[in-house]
Amino acid sequence: MSGTLLVADLRAWYGKVEVLHGVDLAAAAGEIVALVGPNGAGKTTLLRGISRTVRTTGGIAVDGVDVARLNAPAVARLGVGHVPQGRGTFPELSVGENLRLGSLARGRRFRSERTADLDRLLASFPILREFLDRPAGALSGGQQQMLALARALLGRPMLLLVDEPSLGLAPSTTLDLFRMFDDLRSDWGLTIVLAEQNARLSLQVADQAVVLSTGQVMFQGPAAEVAASPHLRAAYLGKEALT
């Protein structure tokens, strides 16, 4: 597994409304790509298109496999994890049961590392260890976000799609989370495509950035170039986005 991603001329619809207009994107194995842009730019829809949860046309290849005609479960089985915006958990199940479902997603891959991976994630999100027997629906929004991330990572994906991971998290927890993303791409070779409201933080950890506006790519290149560009910041992120 390498986790490369190639998106070509991707268009997406909600009903009859086209919301992505020919998006191209490339991510190398082990790379973090930050999707940045104003609200409504198409970041969430792009992640949904890659994970096959919205209608699209165009090309999508994951690790060289054409997934554009696959459904969401088939794409997940290939090693694509998707943590949607909000609380992507099973609220009626306990925290521990949610985590076990995540482990099942890896199948026979990395079976011997399940316990070590769980310990690592519980160390990153210690509140989950305290609440293993609590129903997921009883957790706060931020705690459910931690659980959704931990569950997806326990599947040991080669490509992780994450939508607004810091939503509901304390600033210190957000910093720890982004450090963990950086560690996991080094330790696991994990490729991450990240849509995050905190543009400054996401660009600090990312290798590449894709600037979206009204469903189109305005810029793709090194994240440091976006962070250093007053023009891009003012035009697409807002003057205060990176301060």
How far does Cα 83 stand from its chain's mean position? Answer: 6
pLDDT score, position 195:
95
**What CATH fold (topology level) applies to the domain 1-79+157-243?**
Rossmann fold (3.40.50)
The pTM of the full predicted model, rounded to 2 decimals, is: 0.92
Tell me how far apart the alpha carbons of residues 188 and 207 are, in angstroms, rounded to a whole number: 16
Determine the average pLDDT of the residues in 42-58: 96
Among the ranges 9-13, 111-115, 154-158, which has the highest mean pLDDT value? 9-13
2 vs 236, residue with greater confidence: 2
Determine the average pLDDT of the residues in 152-170: 91
pLDDT score, position 239:
54
Determine the average pLDDT of the residues in 194-205: 90
pLDDT score, position 111:
74
Domain ranges of the chain: 1-79+157-243, 93-156
Radius of gyration of the chain from Cα atoms?
17
Determine the average pLDDT of the residues in 3-7: 95
Phi first, then psi: what are they for 119, rounded to 5°? -60, -40
Phi first, then psi: what are they for 211, rounded to 5°? -95, 120
pLDDT score, position 81:
94
**Res. 61: pLDDT tops 70:** yes
Tell me how far apart the alpha carbons of residues 96 and 11 are, in angstroms, rounded to a whole number: 38
